[in-house]
Amino acid sequence: MKKLAIAMCAVASMMLSVNLVGCSSGSSDKSAEGADSTAVEQAEATDAGQVVEISTDDYIAKVADIHSDPLAYLGSTPCIVDFWATWCGPCVALTPVMHEIAEETGITVYKVNVDQCGAVADAYGIQTIPALFLCKDGKVTPYEGKRDKDTLLQEAKKLME
């Protein structure tokens, strides 16, 4: 029980540090207003069927403008967003599954490192990881189901319909 409490305190302190850290992809012509539809379509074509680690700027350009309310999915093809961190064992274990799902379904999986992209995690109120979001038809929806490969594969296939 004591080890659990220590682990929870460590996670809580790391999550607090996430609030202080944002990530950036360096120079960018894209404003916080988001990207135009042509840029989003080009990104979708390039990223299709892959697992792509993205920065805050890339997230705003390809997935959703975190400064808008409500948060709306910008793309026209479905994707999965995987909030994760390198120190999170379950997150690391989920990574090969997400690669298999992207490969088998052609869906894009965007990985958002909560330690580097705190602003994105904050926009969704991420408190525990791994956290998955399904994006389709202008909506970014938290995924609440099981995280085994078969269940996630079924969800990804449904998302692609």
Q: Which of 23, 79, 91, 135 is catalytic?
A: 91
Say whether the peptide bond before residue 142 is cis (omega within 30 degrees of 0): no
- Please pick, among 9, 23, 79, 88, the residue that the annotation labels catalytic: 88
* Residue 88 designated active-site: yes
The helix/strand/coil state of 106 is: coil
Q: Long-range contact list for 93-98, CB < 8 A, 24+ apart?
A: 94/130, 94/147, 95/51, 97/147, 97/148, 97/149, 97/152, 98/51, 98/152
Active site residue ranges: 88, 91
